[in-house]
Amino acid sequence: MRKRAVLFTDRQPIPFLKINCLRNCKTYQARKPLWFYNTSLKFFLNKPMLADVVFEIQGTTVPAHRAILVARCEVMAAMFNGNYMEAKSVLIPVYGVSKETFLSFLEYLYTDSCCPAGIFQAMCLLICAEMYQVSRLQHICELFIITQLQSMPSRELASMNLDIVDLLKKAKFHHSDCLSTWLLHFIATNYLIFSQKPEFQDLSVEERSFVEKHRWPSNMYLKQLAEYRKYIHSRKCRCLVM
């Protein structure tokens, strides 16, 4: 009878066949793309399978998994591991955010990605991220809002119902310094549009002073433009070709 080759160690002998299986398994795992690990956890998002905690939001429940939450969010890690009510409770109420926003927040924790439907939704998600101190998600929401506003043409900015000043105040209140600074410059560089909106009057004295100082077009530019238009329409400027 042929003997099976084995590898001798200081522990129990390990057959070469088993080692090859382990190597094949590791090779298979190494070949998996990075997105596989990000999307595989999505199968557990808002699913009761293996869930060990349930969030209660706006009269509905959302199942979740403590291990994922603890690994991805320091606030939840402290909440579930400390001497808090949440550490011993299965049903945890959530206040201050909508169910849709909280599900988007959980989607980020489970998949490391998020896709807000619009600026308002991104701001709600930013507030939730600030509440749970997930700074990377907060920066993602900031970038999304900035990108969306930058891509808007002037006509759309003038006609949209979104309150930019209210967005600015929320950004400041929730410590989004990057977004609040950018919004203040955005209001200043689109002065003629936003100065005509009623919410422009809600700017603080300091904010109004900054906007007036950095506004575009500036008063000097408008004055020079008016003088130029007056000049070309005067008799002093005649068409040489005619």
- For the chain, what are the domain ranges? 178-241
Task: List phi, psi (to 5°) of 131.
Answer: -60, -40
Report the candidate in 210, 143, 195 with the shortest Cα–Cα distance to residue 164: 195
* Tens place of pLDDT per residue across the chain (242 aa): 554 444 444 444 444 333 343 344 344 334 545 444 456 888 999 999 999 999 999 999 999 999 999 999 999 999 999 888 888 899 999 999 999 999 999 999 999 998 899 999 999 999 999 999 999 999 999 999 999 999 999 999 999 899 999 999 999 999 999 999 999 999 999 999 999 999 999 999 999 999 999 999 888 887 887 888 888 887 655 555 55
Q: What is the pLDDT of residue 101?
A: 97
The structure's pTM equals 0.77
Task: List phi, psi (to 5°) of 123.
Answer: -70, -40
Number of helical (H) and strand (E) elements in the chain, helices listed first: 14, 5
Enumerate residues 6+ apart whose C-beta is below 8 A from 101: 121, 124, 125, 127, 128
Tokens 């808002």 label which residue?
46
Helix (H) / strand (E) containing 124: helix 119-131
Enumerate residues 6+ apart whose C-beta is below 8 A from 94: 55, 56, 57, 102
